[in-house]
A and B are shown apart, each in its own frame.
Chain A
Amino acid sequence: AQSVSQHNHHVILSEAASLELGCNYSYGGTVNLFWYVQYPGQHLQLLLKYFSGDPLVKGIKGFEAEFIKSKFSFNLRKPSVQWSDTAEYFCAVKPHSGGGADGLTFGKGTHLIIQP
């Protein structure tokens, strides 16, 4: 079965700092990869996703992520964070050949706090 590891449980940054959140997955085959964000008191929203093609994908609100197949990684980046980026971030993976819709496997999340 696939699994997802997020390296940092808590990250604290100042506004305008650069952000990189680590995500590694374990699965032997082709995968679809996702980053979700959960703002305080809200439900999860899709930030970006990778299915195939260009390994550098751009999402909403200035976020991007790079898929490095050799490292089984899908790190999330943002050049300059804002206070409004304070949220919980989840990396998720789905085997590409899963066939049935058996859901995504999520990492445990990274709690990001941006200090004004």
Chain B
Amino acid sequence: IAGITQAPTSQILAAGRRMTLRCTQDMRHNAMYWYRQDLGLGLRLIHYSNTAGTTGKGEVPDGYSVSRANTDDFPLTLASAVPSQTSVYFCASSDHSGTGLYFGPGTRLTVL
């Protein structure tokens, strides 16, 4: 089934721990994104990648890093998690036709 998968579905993490959220798409989309969704703040872009091998910073990149080794995978890493990173994280992808974004099912992360 074509689409985007994210793992894990949810996670509770102690502050200071390192965590990688996984995202894989099978639509061969060039562009991929990571957003966080917080109540009252909507979705905010963390990092993006136009194509494999390139990444860029979004609106709220601090504390997060990404890599894009290939077209399909776009992992998001929290090097040292803090409670303010408690959120729902959505991965998304798009082709360059501008038809909008396809979203994954999300990862609910709680940092204690």
Contact = CB atoms under 8 A, between A and B. Distances in A.
Interface in A47-80: 49, 51
Interface residues on B, range: 20 to 34
B94 A101 contact: yes
Contacts of B99: 49
A106 interface: yes
A8 to B, nearest CB: 13
B27 to A, nearest CB: 14
State which size class the interface on A falls in: 20 to 34
Q: Is the interface of A mostly helix, strand, loop or mixed?
A: loop
B51 to A, nearest CB: 8
Nearest to A1: B59
A106 B42 contact: yes
5 contacts: A43-B104, A102-B45, A102-B58, A103-B58, A107-B42
